[in-house]
Amino acid sequence: MRIAILGAGAWGTAMAVQAAPRHDVRLWGRDAAQVERMRRERCNARYLPQVALTPALELAADLDDALTHGRDGLIVIATPMSALAAMLQAVPAEAIVLWLCKGFEAGTGRLGHEIAQALRPGLRAGVLSGPSFAEEVARGSPTALVAASADAAVCERAVQAFHTDALRVYTSDDPIGVEVGGAVKNVLAIATGVCDGLRLGLNARAALITRGLAEMTRLGVALGARADTFMGLSGLGDLVLTRLHRAHRARSLACAGCRDADHRSRRRAARRCADACAGGRPPDGAPAAPRGRHCGLTPARGQW
């Protein structure tokens, strides 16, 4: 299968490395200098320095070239959420498309499937999500993901592209639930970092996990998802990974931002946490709170 992956960050590179031994994969990056360095060194030194790029993996700085390559196979958008709309508008109408980005669109609060419906109605598209760290996927560590779309053919193409003995790809027809789970966990990961940074203890962390899952489910159901989706990989699975593992970026930066809270008020410590995580701006998941203002989203709203 011909696969084009748009976005040469850690996640896009990891999925390209994972698929390249079995498929004809072309990884596109918007920074031509970075792409040339990756081609020369066979390594993504900026985002995934510990992982070698397989010889079969092709690299491209020409977007049209990458889109043509994946047109009849699969196009995977691995950019930040802020670039999803532009990428969706660029893909060919006949392509099957997956996106890996998680979050709500800044300014509109739209999920990925809502952006696709607004900009490219009729496009065969879906989301690939779940609890995963890019480096572990690239190294072939056992991982489970979920492909979600209202179009079963999109999910099947995702399975054909990425399912292996080590990387299990499950399918779902509830893209709303899968996307809400992947977005809200960003906010709740920060809450866990604040909890740990303020040394509030394991009881508080356990309360955040359980109540966070409850509020995530309420928001998802209010937006049209099924409640049982949140007991799967993109709900409970994402929460377990991001809130119990110190390697998660939002959690670890939030924790670091609050470590010296003994000398500050908690409000000032929380503000430092926000600055550390997102330059003073809410992360991609934060718009979940205002959209869910009638859903009782206490931890998520409390972050901002």
Is residue 73 within 8 Å of 255, Cβ to Cβ? no
Is residue 127 within 8 Å of 158, Cβ to Cβ? no
Bridge partners of residue 74, in order along the sequence = 3
Is residue 195 within 8 Å of 204, Cβ to Cβ? yes
Is residue 5 within 8 Å of 99, Cβ to Cβ? no
Please give the DSSP secondary-structure letter assigned to residue 69.
Answer: H
Among residues 185, 243, 248, 251, which one is catalytic?
185
Mark 16-45 as b/e (b = at least 16 C-beta within 10 Å).
bbbbbeebbbbbbbeeeebbebbeeeeebe
185 is catalytic: yes
Is residue 88 within 8 Å of 77, Cβ to Cβ? yes
Residues 112, 104: Cα–Cα separation, whole Å: 7
Residues 182, 28: Cα–Cα separation, whole Å: 24
Residues 250, 239: Cα–Cα separation, whole Å: 12
**What are the residue numbers of the active site?**
185
